[in-house]
Amino acid sequence: MKSAMLILIAGTAMAIGATYGAVQGPSGEAAGGKVATGTATAVLIPAGEPGEPLIVDGRVLSAAGKPVADAPLYLYHTDIQGYYSAGGKDERNPGARNSRLRGNLKTDAEGRYQFRTIKPGQYPGTSGPPAHIHYEITPGQQAMQAFELIFEGDSRLTEEIRQRAAKHDFFILCAPAKDAQGNLRCKGADVMLK
């Protein structure tokens, strides 16, 4: 049954030109794949994942504001309850290789990317960062750069984080809005490399 489910997920992902990270191999860093798929789209969740559907569109730009083609992105985040792995065992970032909801993609010729997922939850408890999606980008021969996509209206969004997002300093601020299909959509989630 489990292998039939993975085949169904993989088939669905390939049919829409995307990949779901867990389909790429057994768990672990190599399978979690810091290797981009060659496509500018990805699906970070398995079929039936609870949560509000979210589609994120953006571009990867150089420090000069030019589109960066073929930039590999590795993306991962918590589930709606704020946990990275199944069973609610870790609310803090355990490292990208242990995240259950993850995926890879490569920007297109104009630096564009898109991924489908759910809106992640905040870490459990009353403190911590806003809900976020991790981005690891390794363009060309440059060192990996890390960013976090955060959401307007999050109760943990501080003025300091908002100001850093305005300067493209680690944070990418998204104001999700419902599209015609009822999905949350973040348009213009552009990442400016250093």
Give mean pLDDT, residues 105-130: 94
Q: Which residues contact 136 (CB under 8 A, 6 or more apart)?
A: 34, 73, 74, 75, 96, 144, 145, 146
> pLDDT (tens digit, 9 = 90+) per residue, 76-104?
999 999 988 876 666 565 555 568 899 99
Q: How far apart are CA 122 and CA 120, in angstroms?
A: 7
33 or 64, greater pLDDT: 64
3-state percent helix, strand, coil for the chain, nearest multiple of 5: 15, 30, 55
What pLDDT is attached to residue 126?
A: 86
Q: Sorting pLDDT into bands at 50, 70 and 90, what band is 141?
A: confident
Which CATH code for domain 2-192?
2.60.130.10
pLDDT of residue 125: 87
5 pLDDT more than 70: no
Q: Where are the domains of the chain?
A: 2-192
pLDDT at res. 186: 96
CA dist., res. 91 & res. 71, Å (int): 29
Greater model confidence, 185 or 28: 185
- Name the DSSP class of 112: E
User: pLDDT per residue over 17-37, tens digit each?
Assistant: 333 332 232 222 333 444 455
Q: Which candidate, 191, 165, 176, 153, places its Cα nearest to that of 54?
A: 176
Pairing of strands 101-106, 112-118: unpaired
Q: What is the largest CA-CA distance in the chain?
A: 50
| Type of residue at 131 | A
**Strands 41-43, 112-118: pairing kind:** parallel
Q: Give the mean pLDDT of 150-171.
A: 95
pLDDT 10s digits, 45-62: 999 999 999 999 999 999
Q: How far apart are CA 168 and CA 68, in angstroms?
A: 16
H-only helix segments in the chain = 2-15, 29-32, 159-166
> Would the pLDDT of 135 be above 80?
yes
